[in-house]
Structure 1
C-alpha cells in the first residue's frame, strides 16, 4: 500500500515536521505513519531541527530499523524508498539498513555502503551475506581502479634523462629533447612545429634486493575507512617486483591476513571491526617478522589510542627503529587523510624515531617508493 497524495497543507506539514503542526494542523492515518518514518530518519539532522523544518517535539520515534524499513516499503513509491535508504546509509550512517536483502539488491554501491556492510556483516544471514559480498567486490573494484595507477606510477622507477627508451608512454615523454630534435621542422608561416621523432626517457629501477612491507591495521570501529584502503593498498603492492607485503589486523588480538592479501574482498570480509586495542602486541608481532631490518618498512595504521601498555608500545617502536627498521605511523589512510588520533602518543613515537602523519593511498605509495629507492 503506497501513501495516497495528501492535500497541500498536509504535504507542507510532512515537509516541515512536527514544528508546523500549530499552523498547518495535525496528521492522521497513513500520513501520520509517513511522518513518523520521515522523522525517524531526518529528525536526527541537527541543522534541519534547528530551523524547525523537521524533528518531532514529542521525543524520538520508537521505530526500530526493521520497523522503519517495513514502514517505508508500505507507504512510499519505489523511487522514494531508494532515496530514503540511500540517505540512511550515506547521510546518517544507519548501518543496520544494509542487513535487508532487498535493500542490498537495489542500493547503489559506494564506500559508505561498504563501511556499513563491514559494520553489520556479523548480523547477516547467508543469503544477505552473499549479496553483501557482491557489493563489496564492486566497491573494491572501483577503489582499485583509482589506486592501482598511483601505485604503479610511484614504483615505476625514476626517469633517466641520459638514456632514451623505446617504451613510448606519456609519463616517459622528454619534452625538451623532443623540441630540440625537431626544431628544423618549424614552419614559421603556419606557426607550428611538426614532430617526426618524439623522444622518451628510460626508467631505472634502483632496488634490486627485496623489501619487506608490513602493514599493521587497527580494526577498531573508528578506523573502518583506513581498514578498507589498507586492504586495497596491500593488494596493489602484492604483485610488485622486489616487494614482499604482509598485512596484519589487530584489536586486542593479532591476526595475520597475509594469505588473503591478493583477494581484498575476502580479506575485508574477514576483518572484525570493534573491540579494544593493543597496539604494543601488534608491534611485537611485527618485530617477530623482521629478517632484514635495513630493508623493512613497518606501517602502523592506527589512531594511537592504546588500550594496553603505552610504555610497552613506545619501547617496542624504539627497538624497531634502533634495529634499522623504517617505522611509519599513519593516523589515517583514506581519501581524505583527515584523522582524529591521540596526539600525545603520536608525539612520543616521533621522539623515538618513527615517522607519523596521515596520507592518502597515493601519498603512501609515493612515500614507500622513495624509501625503497633510497
Structure 2
C-alpha cells in the first residue's frame, strides 16, 4: 500500500494536482502531500505551473528577480543534484536568460541590476560556456557601479574610525597632533603670555604594525542571501584595498570556502560562490574563530538568515566564545535593500542574548556600521540612532 501511495505521490508531483490529472479527487480522497512534498510541489509549480491551479504547466517565475534567486537556492534543498541541474537548465530557457546572454541586442535592452546578478550567480553552473563571458560582463557592470557608489563613503568611514580609535591623550612628544591639541585647549589661552597652556594632549599611539583591524566577512550562501552576497563582495573588495585593515572573506553552506585570495575582484568572488539549500553556520564560525589572532582588534560580521542546518546550540556557544575572547561580532540578517528579511527569530534572539546584536542592514548604512564596530561603540545604541530594530528590541515584552 505504501509503495502504491509513493507512486501516486510522484505522479501527483509530476502532473501538478489539476482537477483532470486523474490523481486529485473531488470527494476528498486521492493523494495528500506531506510538508516536504508540498514544498517540492511549490518549487515545481513556480517553474512549470500556470498559477492559481488553472491550465497546463508553463513558465511562471515572471520577472521577480529576488524571488527567482530564493527559488534557485530552495530547489537544492528539495531535490537531488541531477534533478536540480535539469530544473536550472529549464529555468535558463523559461526566464529568457539563454537568449539574453546570446543576443547582444537583448543585453542592450535590459538594465542590469542586483536582482539580475543574483539570478545569474544562482544559475552559474548551467550557463553555457560560450555565454559565460557575457554573464561576467553583466555582473561586472553592476559591481563596478556599486563599487563606485559605495567606495568613497566606506573608505572615509573606516579610515576615520581607525584614526579616532588610534588617538591617545598621552602621546609621545613626536606623536602629538598639535592642531587638534590647540583646538581642544583654546579655553586655556593665557592672554598675558599670549599662548595656550594645554591641559590635555591629543595624538596617536604608536603601533607595531600597519594593520590596525582584522575584519572577517562570513557569508551564508543559501539562496535567500543572494543579494547580500552581491553587496558583500563589493564591500570586501573595497576593504581589501585598505592597508590598515586585513579582511578575510568566507562563504559557506554545508561547506566552508575561503575566497580571500579572490576578494579584490567581486566578479571572481560571485562566480566562486555556489548558492545552495543547506547551511552549517556552526562550522563556518569554527573556521572564522580559528583565524582570530587578535580578538580585541577583530570584527566578525556574520551575514546569514540564521536558518541553521547544523547544531544550533553549538553555533550559539561558539558565538559566545568569540564575544568572550574580546572580539566584536555582529549578525546581519540581510545586507540588502529588499526590506524585512525572513530569518530564524529564535536563533537571532539566542545570539543577541550572548552579546551578538542581530538585525538587517542596508548597503548605505554598512560603512557607518563598520565604523561603529571598529571604534567598539555599542552597536545597539548605533542601531537605535539609525532607526534599526534589533532582535533584542523585538523580543522585549
TM range (shorter): 0.5 to 0.7
Per the alignment, do residues 44 and 250 of structure 1 end up closer, same or farther by CA in structure 2, a change over 3 Å counting?
A: same
**CA deviation after TM superposition for structure 1 residue 370, in Å:** 2.4
- Provide the residue aligned with 2:292 in structure 1: 290
Unaligned runs of 5+ in 2: 1-45, 69-90, 165-176, 181-201, 377-397
Whether 2:63 is the aligned partner of 1:88: answer yes
Counterparts in 2 of 1:220 and 1:91: CA distance versus 1, 3 Å: closer
Deviates more, 1:326-335 or 1:100-109: 100-109
Return closer, same or farther for 1:97/1:354 CA change in 2, 3 Å cut-off.
Answer: same
Match of 2:134 in 1: 131
Measured in 1, the distance between the counterparts of 2:59 and 2:361 equals 40
Tell me, in whole angstroms, the C-alpha distance in 2 between the residues paired with 1:206 and 1:233.
28
Please state how far the C-alpha of 1:88 moved relative to its aligned partner: 3.2
Tell me the equivalent position of 1:320: 322
Q: Which runs of 5+ in 1 are unaligned?
A: 1-39, 47-56, 66-86, 165-202
**2:160 aligned residue:** 157
Distance change (3 Å), C-alpha of 1:138 and 1:345 = same
- SS of match in other structure, 1:132: helix
Whole-angstrom distance in 1 between the partners of 2:57 and 2:50: 10
Q: Distance in 1 between the 2:213 and 2:159 partners?
A: 15
Tell me how far 1:109 sits from its aligned partner: 1.5
Rounded to whole Å, the distance in 1 between the matches of 2:366 and 2:343 is: 18
- Residue 122 of structure 1 aligns with which residue? 125
Larger Rg: 1
Q: Which residue of 2 aligns with 1:59?
A: 55
Alignment CA distance shift 1:207-1:216 (3 Å):
farther
Q: 1:206 to 1:351 in 2, by over 3 A?
A: farther
Change (3 A) 1:294 1:99: same
Query: Contact conserved, 1:248 with 1:255, CA < 8 A, in 2?
Result: yes
Q: Which residue of 2 aligns with 1:368?
A: 370
Mapping of 1:1-374 within 5 angstroms?
58-62=54-58, 88=63, 93=68, 96-100=95-99, 101-102=102-103, 105-106=107-108, 107-157=110-160, 163=179, 210-336=212-338, 338-374=340-376
Alpha-carbon distance change, 89 to 331 in structure 1, aligned in 2, over 3 angstroms: closer
Tell me the C-alpha RMSD between the 2 structures: 3.2
Q: How many residues end up aligned between the 2 structures?
A: 266
Structure-1-length-normalised TM-score: 0.64
| Conserved 8 A contact 1:232-1:264 | yes
